[in-house]
Amino acid sequence: MTAHPDLIAHNTQFEKKLHALSPTVYTAVGYAASNVHFLIGDEGVVVIDTTETTQAAQNILADFRKVSQLPIRTIIYTHSHRDHISGATVFSEQQAQQLKGPQVRQNKIEVIAADNFMSDLVNVDQQRPAPNTALLSRTKRHFGISLSPDERINIGIGPGDRPMNGLGAGYIEPTHRISETVTLIREGFELELAKAPGETPDHIVVWLASQQILFSGDNYYHAFPNLYAIRGTPYRDFDAWADTLDQLLAYNAAILAPGHTQPIIGSDAIRERLTDYRDAIRAVVAQTVKGMNAGLDPVTIADELQLPENLANKPYLKEFYGHIGYASRAYFAGTLGWFDGNPTSLGQLTPAAEAHQFINLVGGAAKLLTAAKQALENGEYQWAMELADRLIAADLEIADARAVKMGALRQLADLTINAPTRNYYLLSARELEE
């Protein structure tokens, strides 16, 4: 299996290590999709985020116990994504057999989150229709679940090879919710918790002023921000995220401990990265708005969009996780809706109806299949897929059309540095094959 060399090199961001940020603050990186932070007080420990699986949490806790045996008394969730909240029962150090089903919520450990924190692990309204099946299948493709570690390479913000036992199983409901910036004393640490919407609206950041350490959640990581996730997400507020980066800059932190990837040491390095992150988001917004006001469609805007020259080559803005084009299209849809402005789109043919018309126009399915195979051979992989899709939609030459599409998907997977796109292509190809 081959892959883009930059995506392979990106694995250095996920080297497994328990980092000592200070004598009393540790960060576990590379054990799972997300990081876990420990603040060691005189009599107890504060944990910030709890990772995605109970197995990963157990591995992290085992290594942390080589540093400290003090009890964990407080857990802080930076936000509700399940890769940050699913190992809490392990860090609460309660017996797993006593914590099944609704009893998890009765755990006595303090768990702090934002007042608008809402996890899909428990907050599911069964009376309302929801695209849960669609979201599940797309999430599996996004993260390459069931791909081998060699195929997956990484997930853009975490290692590809990581324990998946107990995925989503160790969540504990928050016991304390904050509605504004508050200062709390926990285990001898004075902690400022501030609401800071970004990748999610329920984000909070934690500021340890005495050591100038900022725990930023997913408002920053070493990749272009995931302003739209191809697994399917509600609209993410681009402007709010950029404003939050101004909020983070105001702390003038000496150490930045993000929710994913390696910690950043040094106020100058932190300022540069947060400033560039903010400016990249605002550049996407500005260029997308310019295209919208010029009457361009979202696909054309995304295709023409580029980061400014001073940002384009920054290693922490490469599209390992977020994707500039996907972000632009999400901003278009989130502000103007699905309609691209072309009146033809208001009565657009279904894919099957359009496919039959197209196939008749080119002279039949056999000619279209020949063209698709030629496009694949010529390295025109996107065009090959689009031609193959018409045959599949029309239910013609299915086996050969699928073979063309599988070949194109696998070629494109090896060319992209975007981990979710790679994983989505590879798993979609496997599904076609199966």
Q: Which domains does the chain have, with CATH numbers?
A: 5-272 (3.60.15.30), 349-433 (1.25.40.880)
pLDDT the model gives residue 127 = 64
The alpha carbons of the chain give a radius of gyration, in whole angstroms, of: 23
pLDDT the model gives residue 129 = 83
Determine the average pLDDT of the residues in 95-120. 68
Kindly report the average pLDDT of the chain as a whole number. 94
User: pLDDT-derived band of residue 1, with 50, 70 and 90 as boundaries?
Assistant: low
Least confident of 95-104, 131-140, 407-416: 95-104
Determine the average pLDDT of the residues in 36-52. 97
In the numeric block, the tokens 């072309």 are attached to: 342
DSSP alpha helices (H): ranges in 196-254?
A: 238-249
Residue 97 has pLDDT above 50, yes or no: no
Please, what's the largest Cα pairwise distance for the chain?
A: 79
Residue 382 has pLDDT above 90, yes or no: yes
pLDDT the model gives residue 112 = 98
Of 273, 284, 272, 274, nearest to 227 by C-alpha is 284
Q: Which two tokens stand for residue 157?
A: 């913000």
Per-position b or e across 197-219, b if 16+ CB within 10 A of its CB: bbbbbbbbbbbbeebbbbbbbbb
Distances (CA, A) of 45 to 5, 112, 172, 255, 364: 40, 14, 17, 19, 69
pLDDT the model gives residue 96 = 39
Of 28, 119, 27, 41, nearest to 73 by C-alpha is 41
**Predicted confidence (pLDDT) per residue in 245-262, tens digit:** 999 999 999 999 999 999
Determine the average pLDDT of the residues in 184-205. 97
User: pLDDT-derived band of residue 76, with 50, 70 and 90 as boundaries?
Assistant: very high
pLDDT the model gives residue 105 = 43
Residue 102 has pLDDT above 70, yes or no: no
Per-position b or e across 353-366, b if 16+ CB within 10 A of its CB: eebbebbeeeeebe
Task: Provide the 10 A C-beta neighbour count for residue 319.
Answer: 23
Determine the average pLDDT of the residues in 185-206. 97
pLDDT the model gives residue 393 = 97
Q: What angle do CA 281, 196, 170 make, to 5 degrees?
A: 110
User: pLDDT-derived band of residue 98, with 50, 70 and 90 as boundaries?
Assistant: very low
Top-confidence residue, 130 or 259? 259
User: pLDDT-derived band of residue 126, with 50, 70 and 90 as boundaries?
Assistant: low
